[in-house]
Structure 1
Amino acid sequence: MSAPLGVILAGGQSRRMGGGDKGMLTLGDKPILQHVIDRLAPQVSAMALNANGDGARFQSFGLLVLPDSIAGFPGPLAGVLAGLDWAHSQGAEAIVTAAADTPFFPHNLVARLIAAADKDIPLALAATQETDGKRWRQPTFGLWPVALRHDLRTALEDGLRKVVLWTDRHHAGEAVFDLTDGDPFFNVNTPEDLTVARQLAEGAT
């Protein structure tokens, strides 16, 4: 398949960080969101940002801002739906999502997701695997087919909120990443996480 569109998910309310946009917090010499943009851009054909509220606050990043089309902050699936509707308007087959608070995700994320998905239905989630074999799915990092956008809309309108319940329904593939060099999907949820992220960023330079 051709390179999918990229959608960065920043539509949450950041309660554990005290509100505000976690992606705007500084990591090194630039915002966390810019780190995410820089990692995702080479892997996709174009990008947009899913965020609610006044989109003008993201103007400096140069991305189209896509608000949720389902009211009430129903979670990441609403951001996925907004991205799929945008992708449909662009004539794209699929999108890849990445979280706006996860600055260290793999540089080969998109290639691995495409390889893990069924060829007829490009749907897959990233996952990590521990040494004991236990897997943890990463529901904000996925490959999502535009063809299922109406099904997703119906599921959200019926009250479904948990990502894996919907992806399991459609037999999503899994792109499994190991934890040998740490968790590539480490995300910044709390002030303590931000301190750790800054330490990790310093170690990577």
Structure 2
Amino acid sequence: MNRKFAEIGSTGDGKDVVFDITPDLADAFVDAIRNRINVQGPRHAQTFDDLTATIAQTSRLIQHLQEFRELAIAAADRTSPHADRKAIAIAAAMPPSRLYRVLEKHGRPADRKQGETQKQALQQSVHAVGGEWDPQRVVTVLADAGHEVTDKRARQLLRDLAAAHVITKTDPNTATYRTAREN
């Protein structure tokens, strides 16, 4: 079986030449790049040794491309906190559950809302804006940050921040607080 080679380059650049590609793998690779749907079996390899060499080289390429795809998925997700994960899953031809496993494997949160907890988001807002805080303001600020909280949860978050000395209670009869640095 004669081996093929591949030349890869771009306009103005030098070319990379890769030798020792089995002819069947070279044909399959070109067909895949050109999005040809009718997959053909090996046409060049006939002997057991040639067929196993083609299988081994194909397996190494698939493994490498799968890892490359995962890295590209993670890179696409890092482009924005609001990257369209549905579009990423469609491009990768994988269900959302698999996409989330791939993202977690590469250090990306499966659920971006859990990337920052409600308490962290509120504390960040309190430090940035300051002023007076009540449950309604907490509900509004956290909704803007992508968190849904009830009035009851907002009160608990305010108590948690007060316990951490981030805010202090201004009136013992109401759930009204002020940033600690303003008191």
- For the criterion TM > 0.5, the same-fold answer is no
Higher strand share: 1
Higher Cα Rg, which structure: 2
Report TM bin, short chain. under 0.3
Whose relative contact order is higher, 1 or 2, with alpha carbons under 8 Å and at least 6 apart?
Answer: 1
Higher helix share: 2
